[in-house]
Structure 1
Amino acid sequence: MESPWYSLMTNVSVVAFVVSVWTQLRDVFERFGPRAVEAGFGAVMGLGAIATMLFPVQFAPGIFFDLRACLLALAAFFGGPIAALAALIPAIAYRLWIGGAGAPAGMVSMTLITLAASFGHLALRRHGLRIARWHSPALAFATCAIGLLTIAFVPIDPGASDWVPLMAARTVLLFLAVMLSGLALTHDEELRTARRENQIYRQVIDELPDSISVRDPEGRFVIANPATATLLGVSSPKALIGRPGAELGIAHPASPPHPGDTHWTFQQAVKRPDGSTSWLQTLEVQLNDQSGRPEGLITHNRDITDQKHLELELDERQRVLAFAMAQMTDGVAMFDHSGKLLFCNARYQKLFPLTSDVRVPGANIRDILTAAAERREQQVGSSPADVAEWIDEITESLHHDAEEEVHLFDGTWLRVSTRPSPDGVSMVVVSDITRLKRTELELLNVAERLREEATTDALTGLVNRRALDQRLEIEIARSLRSDTALSVILLDIDHFKAYNDTYGHLAGDACLKAVSQCLGQVFRRPADLIARYGGEEFLVVLPEVDAETAYRLANDYRELLAALALPHQASEFGRVTVSLGIAAYAPGQTDRSAIDLVGRADEALYAAKSGGRDQVSGWRRRFDVVPRSLRVVH
């Protein structure tokens, strides 16, 4: 029989080996997901438990002690219920197989330890806590305590004197094995978490559109993201590593502007490889080691070249504007601290035609404003209280920097600027900004027209494809919320290319207009949307309209167009005809999308074309039985 001490040390070696093997195998299991990791962890720990039972300390026939509890506790606590089962089942099965008087107590001990460790795992998960290092000695204590409690059920001869020191040694080794193995697994998990976080940080940095880099105190690049490589005109971030920033036109890492500063910003000009100059807004953050000594800089660069150009352009425009204002003839007036008009030029009087006779030196500002209100030169309210409040407000503004825009009775717009001086005299400059105001209104009108043109087909005046796509998505969402029907009609002018070849493109444009005007006569509801889908195709969106109604409306339109009898020599019908395809969503139908609905209408249109043209066809697979009114109509 082997020495019990040899068996115990062999058990310790097995535990260390199994934990080491798992740290190497875990990466393999992680490829298959977290459940595979738990099951694999439990299986490895279970096999390790069986391995410890191969080198037991035997006190009596059928009574064995080993460190299997260590691996079972680790499996349950670190892996959870799945790992616990994967470890416990093979360990119990093996213990049953080898049998002996101590088998029942051994299985109870294994089960209790696994349950206790699983409970600890679930308790941590329930409270959203992660396994910390101090949990390992706690787990070791609980494992040893349960193991000692179950010894009472083991049939050991009380007269044997050598089992007490062996049991004490086994308990100490079990405590150390659980604690040290737990610390090793905790450390491994911390390393993996740090690695995952680093990978996430690296991916975030690599995906940032701005340049992020780290340089050492000598200015050499240590880390750089792709945006930095693009900014500096190199092939990849790897091409920057180890190169001084000065070679690429980047300023050497600066010292903090003020002692104690940890970050600072500045602007710098960088020469690109193509000879052009870029402006960068640079943020530098000092990177210190654990002792607080600087060991590099984290640099964030943002390309502000366009902003710089805009600033220069803005400065130039401001200079031009200042020159233009200096050449303008503005009205100028000066009032004293009591509001008496001291001076005014002729332009000032001319800008106020209805009160020019009272705007003379010596007049008080209150008298001038009273005349302006009485003669309705300005709209200031109808009640005497409103007029009095307005006069008080304007009089008080003489003592403060103020600027306002005044709208006169004849549509003229004036900008009135007030600048008081320290001696109580206020200068008022009045500028005619009517043209500027009109330009502003014109720009607003132009913007509105551009918005309309962006969503309108120039030839037919209908909604264009771009606006249609947006509106159709809205109608799909609305019909889903309200659980209502939604139908679309896709129509195509038959033999339109032949029409253009026969009558010319101008006639083709007139034909498109006639077809679109007919659409407006049939689909007249405010909710109906008529759009030019492309070329000679049109699409009609009909909210809250079922397939039956859509068919009826489509045939009404086909008959209306037929009544126009637009000649078409290249058509078998001798007139302009259209083929129409219909698709609809019924109430209760939740699987809806614009692509699917238009695709079905396109299939229906193809069926109408294949069936001989000048007809209406629907997406037949939508219905098990197609009503007669929904069948192809000629």
Structure 2
Amino acid sequence: MSDKEYDADSVDAVHKTLLESTKAIPWKIDWDTMTFAYIGPQIEPLLGWTQESWVTAEDWAMRIHPDDRDYVVNFCISQSKEGIDHEADYRALTKDNGYVWIRDVVHVVRKENGDVEALVGFMFDISERKKAEEELIRLQAELEALSFMDGLTGIANRRRLDAALETEWASARRSGTPLSLVMLDVDYFKQYNDRYGHGQGDTCLKDVAETLQAAAARPRDVLARFGGEEFALLLPETDADAAKAIAERCIRLIAAREIPHEASRIGPLVTVSIGVGTTHTFTEDEPRRFVDFVDGLLYQAKHNGRNRIESGTM
């Protein structure tokens, strides 16, 4: 035999050694019998199941996490029947009741007549990759949440309010339910800053925001810092009477907080002026017109003496 000639057993031995020395787990399933012709010994250190325990395709299916099983099995069967190479990510169950994220890469082997003969592939442990992806998703969600949060008070910011208003405007238009908006302004806040300093002014705004959160009791209510010393409370499915009652509660809550304000021209404590607007009619007009309407009511409250509520229906 020449140096370039090898017998079949030697070649098979080399292939087997190569396959079993990789971290990827090779496998082969006979299509007609749906039994494993081979699975690499790497499977046992990874999942705890011995090579000998992988007998049929049912063993593979039952070792997929229940939440992933139906989709993965149906997908792989349909792709295999069509003769389409494919891959699937899923959680494989370990013998000790844990799970490992697997990427299964599948190649369909066909007979000369085109029928499926076998499936061959590799299983890859992608747990670390999945952890990194999940962490990235978590960080993205956290960043998105921060982008909707006012940095000083921790409540929603103007961007979050605008997005919620768009959503609730469309919802109210479909359902025909009323939508209300409460806008509040801390009275004589410039004088507060002049008297106590901007650091204490920031503390005052945080105290006001914390106090007003008690008025935004329902899941869909949105309390936001509208800008500067101005706050807004969006109230879906709330009529004019209910909205005014909530505004009155805001007045009481702020008074009960007893935040000192010696520079106020109203009294010794922090107070707020409030505009309350309600609409039942949802035209093609942008919600911006509604905000302007309620802002006008807030201006009236300030013009008419502050520490009061002005309300109306658009």
TM-score after normalising by structure 1: 0.37
1:408 corresponds to which residue? 92
* Correspondent of 2:147 among 444, 454, 461: 454
Is the Cα contact below 8 Å between 1:331 and 1:348 reproduced in 2? no
Deviation readout 1:538-578 (Å, 9 max, x if unpaired): 11233444444433322221111111101223323222211
Where 1:487 maps in the other structure, the secondary structure is: strand
2:201 corresponds to which residue? 508
**Partner amino acid for 2:275?**
G
Q: 1:425 to 1:569 in 2, by over 3 A?
A: same
Q: 1:368 to 1:514 in 2, by over 3 A?
A: same
- Pairing 1:604–2:297 present: yes
* Correspondent of 2:248 among 541, 550, 555: 555
Q: Percent identical across equivalent pairs? A: 33
Any residues of structure 2 matched to 1:285-434 within 5 Å, and which? 329-333=22-26, 335=28, 339-341=36-38, 344=40, 347-353=42-48, 355=49, 358-359=50-51, 363=52, 365-366=54-55, 370=59, 377-379=63-65, 401-409=85-93, 410-419=98-107, 428-434=121-127
Whole-angstrom distance in 2 between the partners of 1:485 and 1:425: 63
* Correspondent of 1:438 among 127, 131, 138: 131
**Partner amino acid for 1:352?**
L
Q: 1:422 to 1:592 in 2, by over 3 A?
A: closer
Deviation readout 1:279-308 (Å, 9 max, x if unpaired): xxxxxxxxxxxxxxxxxxxxxxxxxxxxxx
- Pairing 1:582–2:276 present: yes
Whole-angstrom distance in 2 between the partners of 1:422 and 1:478: 54
**Partner amino acid for 2:91?**
H
Deviation readout 1:73-122 (Å, 9 max, x if unpaired): xxxxxxxxxxxxxxxxxxxxxxxxxxxxxxxxxxxxxxxxxxxxxxxxxx
Deviation readout 1:359-415 (Å, 9 max, x if unpaired): 1xxx58526964x78xx754479xxxx9xx99x96xx89x98453334223231122
Whole-angstrom distance in 2 between the partners of 1:420 and 1:598: 61
Q: 1:461 to 1:329 in 2, by over 3 A?
A: farther
Report how far residue 593 of structure 1 moved.
Answer: 5.5
Q: 1:333 to 1:605 in 2, by over 3 A?
A: closer
Whole-angstrom distance in 2 between the partners of 1:478 and 1:364: 55
Where 2:264 maps in the other structure, the secondary structure is: coil
Where 1:522 maps in the other structure, the secondary structure is: coil
Whole-angstrom distance in 2 between the partners of 1:512 and 1:433: 48
Any residues of structure 2 matched to 1:234-249 within 5 Å, and which? none
- Structure with greater contact order relative to length (CA < 8 Å, sep ≥ 6): 2
Report how far residue 534 of structure 1 moved.
Answer: 1.0
Q: 1:479 to 1:498 in 2, by over 3 A?
A: same
**Partner amino acid for 1:579?**
S
Report how far residue 602 of structure 1 moved.
Answer: 2.3
**Partner amino acid for 1:413?**
W
TM-score after normalising by structure 2: 0.67
Is the Cα contact below 8 Å between 2:182 and 2:234 reproduced in 1? yes
Any residues of structure 2 matched to 1:494-533 within 5 Å, and which? 494-533=187-226
Q: CA RMSD in A?
A: 4.2
Whole-angstrom distance in 1 between the partners of 2:136 and 2:129: 10
**Partner amino acid for 1:493?**
V
**Partner amino acid for 2:144?**
R
Q: 1:407 to 1:336 in 2, by over 3 A?
A: closer
Where 1:408 maps in the other structure, the secondary structure is: strand
Whole-angstrom distance in 1 between the partners of 2:240 and 2:184: 15
Q: Name the one with the larger helix percent.
A: 1
**Partner amino acid for 2:246?**
L
Whole-angstrom distance in 2 between the partners of 1:471 and 1:336: 53
Is the Cα contact below 8 Å between 1:340 and 1:364 reproduced in 2? no
Whole-angstrom distance in 2 between the partners of 1:524 and 1:568: 27
Whole-angstrom distance in 1 between the partners of 2:45 and 2:284: 71
Q: 1:467 to 1:366 in 2, by over 3 A?
A: same
Whole-angstrom distance in 2 between the partners of 1:378 and 1:481: 43
Deviation readout 1:239-295 (Å, 9 max, x if unpaired): xxxxxxxxxxxxxxxxxxxxxxxxxxxxxxxxxxxxxxxxxxxxxxxxxxxxxxxxx
**Partner amino acid for 2:44?**
Q
Q: 1:505 to 1:344 in 2, by over 3 A?
A: same
Whole-angstrom distance in 2 between the partners of 1:453 and 1:574: 35
Is the Cα contact below 8 Å between 1:331 and 1:351 reproduced in 2? no
Q: 1:514 to 1:428 in 2, by over 3 A?
A: same
Q: 1:479 to 1:413 in 2, by over 3 A?
A: closer
Whole-angstrom distance in 2 between the partners of 1:377 and 1:508: 60
Q: 1:583 to 1:427 in 2, by over 3 A?
A: closer
Whole-angstrom distance in 1 between the partners of 2:195 and 2:179: 38
Whole-angstrom distance in 2 between the partners of 1:525 and 1:412: 40
**Partner amino acid for 2:89?**
E
Is the Cα contact below 8 Å between 1:330 and 1:429 reproduced in 2? no
**Partner amino acid for 2:125?**
D
Gaps spanning 5+ residues in structure 1: where? 1-327, 624-634
Is the Cα contact below 8 Å between 2:225 and 2:232 reproduced in 1? yes
**Partner amino acid for 1:350?**
P
**Partner amino acid for 1:601?**
V
Where 1:571 maps in the other structure, the secondary structure is: coil
Gaps spanning 5+ residues in structure 2: where? 1-20, 112-116
Q: 1:413 to 1:526 in 2, by over 3 A?
A: closer
Is the Cα contact below 8 Å between 1:339 and 1:366 reproduced in 2? yes
Q: 1:380 to 1:544 in 2, by over 3 A?
A: closer
The farther-off stretch of 332-341 and 512-521 is 332-341
Whole-angstrom distance in 2 between the partners of 1:421 and 1:593: 59
2:234 corresponds to which residue? 541
Whole-angstrom distance in 2 between the partners of 1:434 and 1:511: 48
**Partner amino acid for 2:87?**
E
Q: 1:431 to 1:609 in 2, by over 3 A?
A: same
Any residues of structure 2 matched to 1:68-107 within 5 Å, and which? none
